[in-house]
Amino acid sequence: MSRVYNFSAGPAVLPEEVLKEVAAEMLDYNGSGMSVMEMSHRSKVFEEILNTAEQDFRDLLKIPDNYKVLFLSGGAHHQFAAVPMNLMKNGVADYIITGQWAKKAFAEAQKYGTANKIASSEDQTFSYIPDCSDLPVSENADYVYICENNTIYGTKFKTLPNTKGKELVADVSSCFLSEPMDVTKYGMFYGGVQKNIGPAGMVIAVIREDLIRDDVMPCTPTIMKYKTQADANSLYNTPNCYCIYVCGKVFKWLKNMGGLEVMKQRNEEKAAILYDYLDNSKMFRGTVRKEDRSLMNVPFVTGDKDLDAKFVKEATAAGLVNLKGHRTVGGMRASIYNAMPKEGVEALVAFMKKFEEENA
Ligand code: PMP
């Protein structure tokens, strides 16, 4: 067996220890005589898996008791619709557009009410985070929406926007559990788990209880109503059981690593190795304003499309895979989530140095 260093933006690298554990438990989970894949979601064994996963997740993020944690089937795209359907009480919401995912969420919200774009960084290909200290927040906005880490462009909100008292809703898909969060600053946040946490096909949403209402938009499908899932402990229908199980393993792994403070430190160290090299290279350069750089997604270019393509091809042959930038931006992107070891980033930088020498 030979594993590569996988820099995919998602689905993405998972901790090897977790993969080994789930492989070992594939045929017989904890003496149950079956795989978690084969298990009823109403069984005692699965109930334990779900409750433990939720508790560990709560512990990691220090989630206060007045916030619900929901394990929701589907991807972040489902939430682009579910958020306005559930949270637009006045029918108004403000969106800060920092990339394709915020833009898509904004477009979806426009179907359900008045969605206002109150800031954008599209003028410079989303290479920075706009100043959000004094935005024209709508008086009757039900929430202000952000995509906290922009997977495609490699930017991250280092300071949350001043929402002028309105609820903050954030898509945290690509920075989920990469560092501590002050949960009380958000009305809701959610993320697809397929980047930092587990396999694809599920979102974890954290919502303050008073925002979970019965009188949502009448068009809201029962299954997309947060109250439905909150009342049923995420078991209204058959959830993505296997995904919850793997996520639970990752939560234990994160706890064993020392929790999110330690992860933040590790992620800062890893990202610094790559950014320091980019800042000194004569061939490669990062594409994001320095103060807005993501710790998770690092886009970079040579400035020459052919050279970019050559780099990606030769890196792949060297076991450094999925470095091609998003199809909408080109160049390269290294996603260095929690489970990417420091050795992976060091191997990438060593390869970049060699490539730079050979192609100078
Ligand atoms: N939001 C962000 C920040 C993302 O990175 C992605 C996927 N790359 C999405 C939303 C869309 O997620 P999904 O495919 O799970 O719907």
CATH number of the domain encompassing residue 86: 3.40.640.10
Instruction: Provide the domain limits for residue 104.
Output: 16-257
Ligand 1 binding pocket includes 264 (Cβ within 6 Å) = no
162: CB partners within 8 A, 6+ apart: 132, 133, 134, 135, 137
- Give the residue numbers annotated as catalytic, written as ranges: 101, 171, 195
Predicted local distance difference test score (pLDDT) of residue 2: 86
Same domain? For 237 and 287 the reply is: no
Ligand 1 binding pocket includes 94 (Cβ within 6 Å) = no
Residue type, 217: M
For residue 1, is it within any domain? Answer: no
Omega of the bond prior to 11 within 30 degrees of 0, cis? yes
Same domain? For 244 and 266 the reply is: no
Distance between CA 146 and CA 169 in Å, rounded? 6
Domain end position, chosen among 257, 285, 315 = 257
Per-residue pLDDT of the chain (360 residues; tens, 9 = 90+): 789 999 999 999 999 999 999 999 999 999 999 999 999 999 999 999 999 999 999 999 999 999 999 999 999 999 999 999 999 999 999 999 999 999 999 999 999 999 999 999 999 999 999 999 999 999 999 999 999 999 999 999 999 999 999 999 999 999 999 999 999 999 999 999 999 999 999 999 999 999 999 999 999 999 999 999 999 999 999 999 999 999 999 999 999 999 999 999 999 999 999 999 999 999 999 999 999 999 999 999 999 999 999 999 999 999 999 999 988 788 999 999 999 999 999 999 999 999 999 998
Is 159 annotated to bind a ligand? Reply is: no
For residue 246, is it within any domain? Answer: yes
Same domain? For 209 and 277 the reply is: no
Are 96 and 116 within 8 A, CB to CB? no
Predicted local distance difference test score (pLDDT) of residue 328: 77
For residue 152, is it within any domain? Answer: yes
Same domain? For 239 and 267 the reply is: no
Same domain? For 347 and 236 the reply is: no
Ligand 1 binding pocket includes 151 (Cβ within 6 Å) = yes
Same domain? For 226 and 303 the reply is: no
CA of 250 to the centre of ligand 1 (A): 19
CATH number of the domain encompassing residue 322: 3.90.1150.10
Ligand 1 binding pocket includes 100 (Cβ within 6 Å) = no
Same domain? For 106 and 154 the reply is: yes
Same domain? For 194 and 300 the reply is: no
Is 238 annotated to bind a ligand? Reply is: yes
CA of 127 to the centre of ligand 1 (A): 18
E strands, 98-157, in order: 114-120, 143-147, 149-150, 155-156
For residue 111, is it within any domain? Answer: yes
Same domain? For 38 and 52 the reply is: yes
For residue 279, is it within any domain? Answer: yes
Same domain? For 250 and 275 the reply is: no
Same domain? For 241 and 129 the reply is: yes
What CA–CA distances, in Å, run from 50 to 85, 177, 190, 239, 360? 26, 18, 18, 10, 54
Ligand 1 binding pocket includes 199 (Cβ within 6 Å) = no
Q: Measuring CA to CA, which residue among 81, 76, 261, 288 is closest to residue 178? A: 261
For residue 101, is it within any domain? Answer: yes
For 131-163, write each residue's pLDDT tens digit. Answer: 999 999 999 999 999 999 999 999 999 999 999
Phi, psi of 57 (to 5 degrees): -65, -45
The verdict on ipTM greater than 0.95 is yes
Residue from 151, 190, 240 whose mutation best tests the ligand 1 pocket (most atoms within 8 A of CB):
151
For residue 165, is it within any domain? Answer: yes
What six digits make up the tokens of 237?
């229908």
What is the number of structural domains in the chain? Answer: 2
Predicted local distance difference test score (pLDDT) of residue 166: 98
Is 237 annotated to bind a ligand? Reply is: yes
For residue 345, is it within any domain? Answer: yes
Same domain? For 232 and 93 the reply is: yes
Predicted local distance difference test score (pLDDT) of residue 297: 98
Domain end position, chosen among 227, 257, 287 = 257
Predicted local distance difference test score (pLDDT) of residue 45: 98
